[in-house]
Amino acid sequence: MTIERIDAVRNRIPQGAKPGMKTDVVFYANDALRAHIEKDKALEQAVNVACLPGIVGPSLAMPDIHQGYGFPIGGVAAMDWDSGVVSPGGVGYDINCGVRLIRTNLEKDEV
């Protein structure tokens, strides 16, 4: 899998690294964290999230990313209201390990 360094802590897996990706994956990790993150399937799971219908913007992964059951723990994804998916249990048993699903009345350009 191709991983590009954006800067000291931002890394990108470009759209197209896997067929069906609708966006990039961007994850936040310095060299030491990146070496640790690459040991499990968390980045592969972040790539899978980038393939979901209705994803808006990149599939993101925070520095605490680690392998979940579907989505990676520490992953963030925004979905389109009409064409996206809602899956609060996407990470599996670690639900509420920093996972939040929030509905607001805010419009996209207000966020």
pTM of the model: 0.82
Domains identified in the chain, total number: 1
Question: Exposure pattern of 20-54 as b/e (b: 16+ CB <10 Å)?
Answer: ebebbbbbbbeeebbeebeeeebbebbbbbbebee
Q: Tell me the three state secondary structure of residue 44.
A: helix
Model confidence at 84, in pLDDT bands (50, 70, 90)?
Answer: confident
pLDDT at 97 over 80: no
User: Which segments of the chain are extended strands (E)?
Assistant: 4-5, 10-13, 25-28, 55-66, 73-79
Asked whether residue 98 carries a pLDDT value surpassing 70, the answer given is: no
pLDDT at 25: 99
- Domain limits at 35? 4-110
